[in-house]
Structure 1
């Protein structure tokens, strides 16, 4: 398989390198069901998705996008090279040939961003804060278009890596069902190569209506989760209407964080039907934001 250049192995490039434009074009090719060529279902089968999972994706706005996002989240070998190999395996070389220039461009940009992130500047022209500047529009998420409206979400999900299995269940229950909510999951939605604190504060304050905090013992030891929670709580009164929703999904050995004790908890550990939990959480996230 040809690469961007002789030194780049696409099998080592994570799928997150592919930007929104390429993913949308994949949808144009693979979402329609046609009899003369393999569609998104064949790609999903090659990625080892089950029959029930594939049936659930049928109700999403863009099935191939949902497949790619979940494959990217759960598989360590979800790379650009693997995706191209699967497309060739299902005999969609036409898609590979047509999209290869755009894919190569995304890979080059991804590698350039990694290089910039790894190389500190030789000279800092001015002292500046990490506060995001609304006037400086740049792509932060997979669906962002710097020339158009920024991508918005129903909720920012604050979690630590050890709790990602529950976050993945949350994605299935809230995004891929009748609730049709749009969650901001950092590892899935945010493009690499930018200041973590800048991106996080911008998403919480301006892009997401609410914030779900996944509470666990590991959460209490996470510096990133601590920053995200305290930042959301410190927002000026005018935007406190985007309230925090603490979610406890497993038993804890450590005390519940004191800064969240005044908030109503959505407790997955209670002996109640799971549907009650997801319905309450979805309803809370669907409500209009109240500004004081």
Structure 2
């Protein structure tokens, strides 16, 4: 399945290329229950979701949009081409035909963005007047040895600035006790001056065994936390390696993020289970 105006193979274009407009418009086609045409439930089944998972989506305001987010988070081979193939299999060619122009435009923008990232720098090495530089992914934390092994951690802590107080408590309970765990707290451990997104990806993927997500209302508004969570989920689709651990430490007024709904949560908000909280979290982070 190729792009209408080019030879681009849509099976090679990840689903993240589709922007919000296309996703919401697809919801207008699939969300309503229809006695004749297939709706979002049929599409969800073709995506591989189970009956119980599909039933849970019925309580969501826009099931199609949430379904697309969860689908791309749980599988590495999710692509625009695969989505269009599923819609065709569900006999919803009307969606494909009506939205194709918007989809092709999103794909074009996505490819252009990738090309810009791959463009060589204006100043070539031969005329670089600067002295020797430390590689971007070497010497990025306080205890890194640029000439030796990189600093490793038991867990990367994903948090918002407003949740600092709880992060300090986490450091005290997990690092300064018999557990002796080593946490990567960005504002404490990472040296300034490097690209945030590059360094974060390096830490989550190669330096930290797991990631603890401190979920709060403020977390839901954070672009940095959103990136870190989705990146971590992409490394362990379906949570097969128990790599990501959501933590709630205070009541939330907003809906718990759907992308984390299928993971077991470590809940600090219930007084009756607080005494078990740190033990459960420490044991999870201590696993090999």
TM-score band by shorter chain is: 0.5 to 0.7
Is the Cα contact below 8 Å between 1:137 and 1:146 reproduced in 2? no
* Equivalent residue, structure 2, for 1:147: 147
Is the Cα contact below 8 Å between 1:204 and 1:211 reproduced in 2? yes
Q: Does 1:252 align with 2:252?
A: yes
Aligned residues: 160
1:142 Cα deviation (Å)?
Answer: 0.2
Q: Deviations over 1:240-277 (max 9, x none)?
A: 62510000000000000000000000000012253310
* Equivalent residue, structure 1, for 2:67: none
Is the Cα contact below 8 Å between 2:137 and 2:199 reproduced in 1? no
RMSD: 2.5
Q: Does 1:231 align with 2:210?
A: no
* Equivalent residue, structure 2, for 1:220: 220
Given the superposition, is the C-alpha separation of residues 238 and 219 from structure 1 closer, same or farther in structure 2, using an over 3 Å criterion?
closer
Is the Cα contact below 8 Å between 2:155 and 2:208 reproduced in 1? yes
Is the Cα contact below 8 Å between 1:209 and 1:242 reproduced in 2? no
Mind listing any 5+ residue stretches in structure 1 that lack a counterpart?
1-121, 127-134
Q: Where does 1:143-292 land on structure 2 (aligned, <5 Å)?
A: 143-235=143-235, 241=241, 243-272=243-272, 274-288=274-288
Is the Cα contact below 8 Å between 1:157 and 1:211 reproduced in 2? yes
Mind listing any 5+ residue stretches in structure 2 that lack a counterpart?
1-120, 126-134
Given the superposition, is the C-alpha separation of residues 179 and 216 from structure 1 closer, same or farther in structure 2, using an over 3 Å criterion?
same
Normalising by structure 1, report the TM-score. 0.51
Which of the pair has more CA radius of gyration?
A: 2
Is the Cα contact below 8 Å between 2:216 and 2:252 reproduced in 1? yes
What SS is found at the alignment partner of 1:259? helix
What SS is found at the alignment partner of 2:225? helix
Large movers: runs of 4+ above 4 Å = 236-240
Q: Deviations over 1:30-63 (max 9, x none)?
A: xxxxxxxxxxxxxxxxxxxxxxxxxxxxxxxxxx
Q: Where does 1:96-107 land on structure 2 (aligned, <5 Å)?
A: none
Q: Deviations over 1:171-204 (max 9, x none)?
A: 0000000100000000000000000000000000
Instruction: Give me the whole-angstrom Cα distance separating, in 1, the residues matched to 2:222 and 2:277.
Output: 25
